[in-house]
Structure 1
Amino acid sequence: MEVERVQGIASLSNQNGSIPSEYIRSLSEQPAATTIHGVLLAVPVIDLSHPDAGKLISEASKEWGIFQVVNHGIPNELISKLQKVGKDFFELPQEEKEAIAKPANSKSFEGYGTKLQKEVEGKKGWVDHLFHRVWPPSSINYQFWPKNPPSYRDINEQYTQKLIEVANKLLGYLSKGLGLEENAIKEGLGGEELTYMMKINYYPPCPCPDLALGVAPHTDLSSITILVPNEVQGLQVFKDDHWYDVSYIPNALIIHIGDQIEILSNGKYKSVYHRTTVNKDKTRMSWPVFLEPPPEFEVGPIPNLINQDNPPKFKTKKFKDYLYCKLNKLPQ
C-alpha cells in the first residue's frame, strides 16, 4: 500500500488552498486560537564559553526545560552543510526517498516516514521525517542513510563528532548542577552506549497554517535533544498556560530537556512541553538529535538524589518499555 506523504499532500493543497480534514486540529489546539501572538519567548541563551555556563544551564533546566547555546564549538560552516545535505535529500524524486522508507513492520523509528505514534482523534502532523542512528558505531544501520547527496554520510559523521563533545559537556554540567559527580547522568543513561538518533523534520508550506500543526504538543522521550532549526519560525513552548514562539538565533543549538533527564533528576530538571507550527509560504526544517539510553537499559531516579524527604517520583524501567508506553499513550 502506498503511503501518503505530507510533501505530496502539500503540493495539492497549495493548489486548491485547503487541507484534508485529518490535518485540521481541534479548536483547543489550533495555533491561531492558542498562540500569544507578537511575543517571542525569551528562552535562556547561554554562551558555552562563559565561566558560569554550567550554573546557567542547571538553572535553565530547572525553570524552563529548554535553552539555546552559542559558542558551542560546532563550526557555522558545518551546520550549514548539515542543513544543505538534509534539504537536498527531501528534494530528491519521491521514489528515491521511498528506497530508504521505514519498513511497515519495523519496531524501530529508522528510515524515511510520516506517521510516528498513535494519533489522537485521528489527527495528523504536517511533517515528513527521516530517522537514523549516528552513534555509537555499533548501533548504526547505513541502510537508512541517504546515498544522495553523496556527501551526506561524511557531513553527518563530522557533525556527530562535534555534537558528542557538546553533549558530554552539557551532561556534565547537568550532573554537577545536582551536586553529583560529572559523569553521573551520562552513566545513568547507559554511559558509552548512549545512543544518538538523528531526525530530520520536513514541514512543507501549508495553505492553512492557523489550523494545522507540524508536531502536536509533547515532551521528548529522550534524555536531551540537541536541535538545529532552519530560519523559518515554528518552535513553540508552553509557558504559564500559553503557547509562545521561540526566537530563532542563527547557528545556536536549541537544547530540550527530555523525559529521561526529568526521571534521573527525580523531577528537579523539567522536560519541556513543546509543539511545532507550520508556515504558509516557506518550508520549515529542523535537525534534532535525541540522546537515548539503550533499549534494555533501566532508567530511574539517581539513588544519591533519593532520601526520606525526597522519595522517588518515577518508576525505574527499561527504556524500551518507557518508549512503548509513551508512543501508545499508555500510563507509565
Structure 2
Amino acid sequence: MVVLSKQTTEQYAYIRHCNKTSAFSSTGIIPVVDLSKPEAKTLIVKACEEFGFFKVINHGVPMEAISKLESEAINFFSLPNNQKEKAGPPNPFGYGNKKIGENGDVGWVEYLLLKNNQDYNSMRLSVFGQTTDKFRNVLNDYICAVRKMGCEILELMAEGLNIEEKNVFSKLLMDKESDSLFRLNHYPPCPEMALDNKNGENLVGFGEHTDPQIISLLRSNNTSGLQICLKDRSWVSVPPDYNSFFINVGDSLQVMTNGRFRSVRHRVLANGFDSRLSMIYFGGPPLSEKIAPLPCLMKENEESLYKEFTWFEYKKSAYASRLADNRLGHFEIFSAS
C-alpha cells in the first residue's frame, strides 16, 4: 500500500459530517451516460445544465491502458520521497507533496502534474531511469485514448446543443497547441486520523474548487472520497466506479455556454484506512484562444455574462488564486440594477 511519510495533520483542514453532506441514494441521482446509446447527446446536455458532472459508461477507453498506467503510477508513488522529489518541485508541473499551488492551499495528497508534451514528460519521468520509456509510452497511450473519448463527448454535447459546427469544442483539444494537462493524484491513508478521529471528521485531501479548463476526464480506483456540490450548496459523495469515467464541466465551458452549463465545484476527502489514486485529463484550449459565449448559443437580445478573455489570461488569473475562490468573478459582467 502506498503511503506518505509520517507527519502531523494539525495544519490540514477537516470537514465534519453534517446534514448538508449526504451520499447518493441507492437509486442514485448522479447522471449516467452510455456513450453507445443515441440518447447520449441529450443526457449529456441535461447533466451539464443540472450538475456540471456525469458518469460515462461504454466509453471506449481500453481497460488495459487504464490498468497499465495505474500500475506505473503506483510504482511511482511507492518510491522513497527523495527519489520522487527528483521529478519536482512543481512550478506548477512535476511532483508535489501536500502543498497545492503557491497561495497557501494544502491537502493530504501527493501528485504528479504533467504537460501534454511527450518530451517534457520524459524529462520529468527520468526519475525512473531505464523505465522512463515504459512510463512515457503507457502515459501516451492512455492520454490518446482519453482525449479521443473527451472529443466524442464534446461533439455529442455540440449536437445536443444543436450547434451546426460539431467540432466547436473538440477542435480546441485536438489543436496541436492545446494546453491540456494530466494529473496523477495519490491520497494515502492517514493512520493518525484513523486512531485519533472521534468526531466524525474527514481530512481534506484536495480542497473545494472548480476546474478552469473546458472539460475534465477523471477515473480513480475503488476508493471513495470525491464529492460534488449541488445547486443548493449541499455536498454529495460520488460512489467510486473503477470501470467508468467521471466528467466535470470546467469554467471555460461555462463561459462558452454563457452560464447554461455549470462548472461543478468539487473536493476530495481523505480517510484513515484506504489509499485513493485518481488520474485526471484536463482538456484545455490553446493559450491564445479567446474564450467568450458562443454567438450560436445566445438567444435574441441575450447579453453576455462574461468579458472575453484569452485562455492565457484566465489561466494566469486562476493560478494566482486560492482553490476555493470564485475564479470567474473577475470576468463576470454585472448589469446595473
- Fold-level match, TM-score > 0.5? yes
CA distance in 2, matches of 1:36, 1:238: 9
Alpha-carbon spacing, 1:154–1:266, altered in 2? closer, same or farther (3 Å): same
Q: 2:335 maps to which residue?
A: none
What letter matches 1:142 in structure 2?
S
Alpha-carbon spacing, 1:322–1:53, altered in 2? closer, same or farther (3 Å): same
Q: 2:110 maps to which residue?
A: 128
What letter matches 1:197 in structure 2?
L
CA distance in 2, matches of 1:187, 1:81: 28
Alpha-carbon spacing, 1:155–1:31, altered in 2? closer, same or farther (3 Å): farther
Q: How far off its partner does 1:308 sit?
A: 4.5
Q: How far off its partner does 1:217 sit?
A: 0.9
Contact 1:265 1:301 in 2 (8 A): yes
Q: How far off its partner does 1:117 sit?
A: 2.8
Count of residue pairs the alignment pairs up: 307
Q: Give unmatched runs, 5+ long, in structure 1.
A: 1-5, 14-18
Alpha-carbon spacing, 1:187–1:264, altered in 2? closer, same or farther (3 Å): farther
1:145 aligns with 2:125: yes
Which of structure 1's runs of 4+ aligned residues deviate more than 6 A? none
Q: 2:262 maps to which residue?
A: 270
What letter matches 1:143 in structure 2?
M
Q: 1:194 maps to which residue?
A: 178
CA distance in 2, matches of 1:37, 1:311: 36
CA distance in 2, matches of 1:48, 1:147: 38
Q: 2:146 aligns with which of 159, 163, 168?
A: 163
What is the CA deviation profile of residues 190-232 of structure 1, one whole-angstrom value per residue up to 9, with x for unaligned ones?
Answer: 8443233110111111233724211111111111000111111
1:175 aligns with 2:158: yes
Q: How far off its partner does 1:305 sit?
A: 2.3
Contact 1:54 1:177 in 2 (8 A): yes
Q: 2:204 aligns with which of 201, 210, 213?
A: 213
Q: Secondary structure at the match of 2:147?
A: helix
Contact 2:45 2:160 in 1 (8 A): yes
What is the CA deviation profile of residues 157-181 of structure 1, one whole-angstrom value per residue up to 9, with x for unaligned ones?
Answer: 1112211221110111121222212
What is the CA deviation profile of residues 38-58 of structure 1, one whole-angstrom value per residue up to 9, with x for unaligned ones?
Answer: 545531111111121111111
Instruction: Using the TM superposition, name which of 149-158 and 246-255 deviates more.
Output: 149-158
What letter matches 2:160 in structure 1?
G
Identity within the alignment, %: 29
- TM-score between the two structures when normalised by the length of structure 2: 0.83
Q: Secondary structure at the match of 2:193?
A: coil
What letter matches 1:134 in structure 2?
N
Q: How far off its partner does 1:36 sit?
A: 2.7
CA distance in 1, matches of 2:270, 2:246: 18
1:7 aligns with 2:4: yes
CA distance in 2, matches of 1:133, 1:49: 30
Q: Secondary structure at the match of 2:243?
A: coil
Q: 2:224 maps to which residue?
A: 233
Q: Secondary structure at the match of 1:126?
A: strand
Q: Secondary structure at the match of 2:203?
A: coil
1:36-115 equivalent positions in 2, closer than 5 A: 36-40=21-25, 42-102=29-89, 106=91, 109-114=92-97, 115=99
Q: Secondary structure at the match of 2:7?
A: helix
CA distance in 1, matches of 2:23, 2:300: 46
CA distance in 1, matches of 2:306, 2:166: 22
Alpha-carbon spacing, 1:187–1:71, altered in 2? closer, same or farther (3 Å): closer
Contact 2:54 2:247 in 1 (8 A): yes
Instruction: Using the TM superposition, name which of 30-39 and 126-135 deviates more.
Output: 30-39
Q: How far off its partner does 1:275 sit?
A: 0.6
CA distance in 2, matches of 1:304, 1:134: 30
What letter matches 2:124 in structure 1?
F
CA RMSD of aligned residues (A): 2.3
What letter matches 2:304 in structure 1?
P
What letter matches 1:145 in structure 2?
L
Q: 1:327 maps to which residue?
A: 319
